[in-house]
Amino acid sequence: MNTVSQSTARYVADYDSIASQLPGSGLSWLQAMRTRALSQFSASGFPSPREEEWKYTNVAPIERKMFLPRRAIPGSVDIGLLGRYRLPDAFTLVFVDGGFDAGLSNFSGLPDGVVIAPLSEALGRFPELVRSRLGGCIESEPHGFISFNTAMFSDGVLVVLPARTVLERPIQLLHVATQPESLCTVRHLIVAENSAKGEIVESFVGQEDLSYLTASVCEVDIGENAAVTLHKFQAETAKAFHFGGIYVKQAQHGRFEHHNCSFGGLLVRSEIHVGLDQASECLLNGLFLGSGRQHVDNHTRVDHFKPYGISREVYKGILDERARGVFQGRMIVHQDAQKTDSNMTNRNLLLSVDAEIDTKPQLEIYADDVKCGHGVTVGQLEEELVFYLRSRGIDEPSARNMLTFAFANEMVEKIEYESLRSLVLEELISRLPQASAIKEWL
């Protein structure tokens, strides 16, 4: 057992003083769940690099700080920033420092039967539904961030897409940090019943150059034949810490698609864990950029439990300056999962000699009749391509930039949701050198 850090002890000690303000504090089952999670967190603390799944990421900088649960006085929201990251055509729920902000949100005009409600409200309106689902997609031995989130979640969303409903407009969960040392512990619960279909975007942004911690957990329960597309758009501040875990359970013939765009943050860990049933399909796309001293960790896990599942995973990283990237992709084909068809690719571009990537695809195959592949590349731009562009009159820095942009843009183009795609594109361009030149070419 780890010796827990001072901050862990403090979070635990201070818990009683905030417990009554947390949503659902009157529900005994939830209280019990939170208490259990707190004692797990108290024992484990935040994960340590000694744990296999955290080998390449040391969260000590998070432990050295003490982030504060939601304050009584909300911070003032930068409307301009919010406007920039708000998707104009989505149902939008805004979370300010982890708390739901009704005034800034807009999700009126929901189709019949569709539930979109802040979790704080949902616990009052649909306590039994939440009770039966909350934690259902999370693995049996949650690590410190998950327990931390369960104990502390300050709000979140409950989305229920009833059977056979197709939600035409996407839902955006827009998280904004407005106060220094704040804590964004949101917990989202997304349920797509049989044959339902919907699209959700999680956006994470922060104001100015605040330092804060996001520790979010999102559970996605996909029914038979249902289809969910989930996007993560992470553009936290340069001093922010981010943990975002997504845990997905798919029923037979369910379809899950995830696009993970990771741009910001000082220390970032994204987890996407998906469990597939018979003939379910899962598509994981990821693009991560790092510069300065950013550390960006992507941990994915795909469990094929039953036959005929299909999974496709492509992660691309671009690391510059002293940035460090991690790709840990586990693909587990269980004994029952015959005829699984899975593929995982991780390609990385290192733009500076000081940039680093640890990439570790792990295939664990316990079934014998499967088709599984994986590939990893780490490298610089191909000089032949640079020369080709230069031979057409394009100067060398622009040529390198164009190729770097192209490398990333391939992932952006996989996003079908148009207003999100243009937002991602803009963010990508703004983070590459020679942003204005790229804009001119487009």
Partner 1 sequence: MLRIENLHVSVEGKPILKGIDLNVKAGEVHAIMGPNGSGKSTLAHVLAGRPGYEVTAGRVWYQGKDLLAMAPEERAREGLFLAFQYPVEIPGVSNIYLLKAALNAIRKHHGLNELDAMDFLATVKDKTRLLDMDEQFLYRAVNEGFSGGEKKRNEILQMAVLEPKLAILDETDSGLDIDALKIVAQGINALRSEKRAFILVTHYQRLLNYIKPDRVHVLAHGSIAKSGDAGLALELEKQGYGWVEQLADAGA
Q: Note the residues at the interface with partner 1 (CB under 8 A).
A: 382-385, 387-396, 398-399, 402-403, 405-410, 413, 440-442
Taking the complex as a whole, the smallest distance from the CB of residue 429 to partner 1 amounts, in Å, to 13
Which residue, 312 or 339, is less far from partner 1 as judged by CB?
312
Q: C-beta of 378: minimal distance to partner 1 in Å? A: 17
Quick one: 336 or 396, whose CB is closer to partner 1?
A: 396
Question: Cβ 389 to partner 1, closest distance in Å?
Answer: 7
Nearer to partner 1, 126 or 407 (CB): 407
CB of 412 to partner 1, least distance (A): 9
Shortest Å distance, C-beta 358 to partner 1: 25
Give the residue carrying structure tokens 């562009």: 389
d(CA 374, CA 371): 10
DSSP string, 85-106: HS-TTSEEEEEETTEEEEEEEE
Closest CA to 241 of 38, 5, 58: 58
DSSP label of 182: B
For residues 307 and 343, the answer to whether their CB atoms sit within 8 Å is: no
Residue 362 in tokens: 């792990």
CA distance 378 to 76: 43
Closer residue to partner 1, CB minimum distance, 247 or 405 = 405
| Least Å from the CB of residue 395 to partner 1 | 5
Give the tokens for residue 181: 């040392």
Distance, CA of 109 to CA of 314 (rounded, Å)? 36
Q: Give the nearer residue to partner 1 in terms of CB position, either 366 or 441.
A: 441
Residue whose CB is less far from partner 1, 132 or 422:
422
Is 159:127 a contact under the CB 8 Å cutoff? Answer: no
Closest by CA to 344, choosing from 374, 365, 316, is: 374
Q: Minimal distance in Å, beta carbon 409 to partner 1?
A: 5
Q: Which of 218, 179, 170, 201 is nearest to 99 (CA)?
A: 179
Identity of the residue, 102 or 406, whose beta carbon is nearer to partner 1 in the bound complex: 406
